[in-house]
A and B are shown apart, each in its own frame.
Chain A
Amino acid sequence: MFEALDQIFVTLKHQAVGFFPDAWHPFLSALISISFIPLVFATLFAFVTVFERKGIGRIQNRYGPNRVGIPLTKIRLCGFGQFIPDGIKSLTKEDIVPRAADKVVHFLAPVVLLIPVLLAYAVLPIGRNMTAADFDAGLLFFFAVGGAVELSVFMAGWSSHNKYSLLGAMRAIAQMISYEIPLILSAVTVIMIVGSLKLADIVAAQNQYSYGIAHWFVFTPWGLAGFILFFIASLAESNRTPFDLPEAESEIIAGYYTEYSGFKFALFFLGEYLGMFAVIGLGITLFLGGWTAPFSFLTWVPSYVWFFAKLMALVFVFIWIRATLPRLRMDQLMNFAWKFMLPLSLVNIVTTALWHFLGAGPLRWAVCTGLIFGAYAILGWGLMSNQKLGKRIYRFAD
């Protein structure tokens, strides 16, 4: 019964495809898998926009949106109908293109942003047997298409012919390039242990249980360090607070999409959130066991439920961080990436190799934990000793 529930979408797809002649099967199967991705994740985006506004509102001791429910009825749904008027608003707003803008590039930038972001979902295993395209080099594919996002940001910033846009684009590209390195290096540890770039293999390696607890990589010293590094880097890659310098609204209006309005603005918004879900999904797959259950007695819960539960939990952490932390300064951002995250992720790679060769036992736990904490302490001390922290002097405010 539970297995049927777990595989319900896969069986439904097979049955739907079965109505058509054999020659159409590969095409139809791919079409159904692909159309599923924008449908589900765009719905999730609509939900998360309201969830984020409500969550931040609660953390900041206010209500957030709580009025709009189902139209023409009195049902309010705690305000979760808010995304419908938001969408209608962005669709009906005037699309303003600055006279000095480069029209073609300005038009193409949001499109170029959405293509790689949607492509990245192709390799994510969101459930057992639920991957749109399971490449041999799935992880490489994910990082390869992720690189194209920077190009879109540049196109948006440059073509707007606005100094805030260009400043935002330069900040965004500098930040994305810097944090892409720890992101990839922290993922390398998982590849070293699993020995495959295929995401299905990575999930399968974590789908084992001893003493009822799953073999998720986050439960090992190198995995925990790798997950935290990956998490911070993914926070920076998706331009979220405290790494939201590219669109710092109190400094440069809205960064690279200052000159976008109407639905193009909504597309940027959508692209940013879909990118965030994709990179969180990859983090879940690499370190948090993908669609597997944390305890062996919970394996009856369908796999996709686990994936989306983990996704929503991490999205909540993102929202929590956004409501809690202030924005970094540019030099702090760069120092943190190059002087702390990069060396720590390199140390983590060495630790992973040691973990692999020391064999099972308490020795490797002690050695690896000591190595990571030692490196963390030394790097943190080195980073803080240059800071000259003290009482802030206001030169102009007095």
Chain B
Amino acid sequence: MSLAFIIIAIATLFAAAAAMSLRNLVHCALSLVVALAGLAALYLALDAQFVGFAQILVYVGAVAILIVFAVLLTRSDATPNQAILAPDWFAGIVVSAVVFATLGWAALSSTGLPREMPPAPVATVKNIGDLLMTQYILPLEVIGLLLTAALIGAVIIAMKEETPKSSSSRGNEALTEKSEIGNRKSEIDQSLLTSAAMVQGKGGRS
């Protein structure tokens, strides 16, 4: 165990504990980002560059922003004043320790796993790319298809249904005004969305 590993591990564990126990949800999300970045640092310390950078790109760059936005857009209550930990936290720790011990014991004593460490493979970025494009092309395609379907589904859920246009004509002026509002609809939607978030954020923090 090198010094770097110990420092990274302690920082990651502290950040993970903070992500569970802080009161303010945005603080929790930011602590979670630190924990995820710590994991990326561990991957890099193990010389797994591709996994480490992908971890940063996906989790710190994308998932963290998603979490933070979800917190911001859905939160409606003030930060809780009572203790964050559930009253029976001690029992929880005991149960998780027992489960971990059982799993670890089962894994260590199983005969199915090879006892000898295989020689470390050369996991350069080029090798990973070659394998992804040849041997593991089918899983890659399936994941791509799944993500595309999820993307389209999300867009359809978020899309507003078109309201049928009213045919009553109340003079030219009203019509132009209406069409102008229609033209700037996306802009107005955007500002409504952000202002709603603002109101919620304000209610939550004061």
- Which residues of A approach B to under 8 Å, CB–CB? 100, 102, 105, 135-137, 140-141, 143-148, 150-151, 154-155, 158, 161, 163, 166-167, 170, 173, 177, 195-197, 329-331, 334, 388, 393, 395
Contacts and interface: CB of A to CB of B under 8 A. Distances in A.
B125 A197 contact: yes
Contacts of B205: 100, 161
Interface string B174-185: 001100100110
A151 B33 contact: yes
Contacts of A330: 186-187, 190
B30 interface: yes
A334 B189 CA distance: 13
A166 B198 contact: yes
Contacts of A150: 61, 65
Contacts of B202: 161, 163
Contacts of B33: 151
Contacts of B183: 388
20 contacts: A135-B49, A136-B124, A136-B126, A137-B49, A137-B53, A141-B49, A144-B57, A147-B62, A148-B56, A151-B30, A151-B60, A155-B30, A158-B72, A161-B205, A163-B202, A167-B194, A170-B197, A195-B126, A330-B187, A334-B186
A310 to B, nearest CB: 26
Contact of B49 (A136, A161, A388): A136
Interface of B is mostly: helix
B53 A141 contact: yes
Interface residues of B, number: 38
A331 B182 CA distance: 13
Given A105-B30, A137-B50, A161-B205, A170 B61 contact: no
Given A145-B56, A393-B176, A395-B177, 15 more contacts: A102-B24, A136-B125, A147-B61, A148-B56, A154-B65, A155-B30, A161-B205, A166-B197, A177-B62, A177-B65, A195-B126, A330-B187, A388-B183, A393-B180, A395-B180
A303 B78 CA distance: 58
Contacts of A155: 30
Q: Which 10 A-B pairs have the closest CB atoms?
A: A147-B61, A144-B56, A331-B186, A144-B57, A144-B53, A140-B53, A137-B49, A137-B125, A163-B198, A331-B187
Interface string B136-178: 0000000000000000000000000000000000000000110
Contacts of A177: 62, 65
Nearest to B37: A148
Contacts of B72: 158
B181 to A, nearest CB: 10
A148 B61 contact: yes
B3 to A, nearest CB: 14
Given A140-B50, A197-B125, A147 B190 contact: no
Interface string B61-99: 110110011001000000000000000000000000000
Contacts of B194: 166-167, 170
Contacts of B197: 166, 170
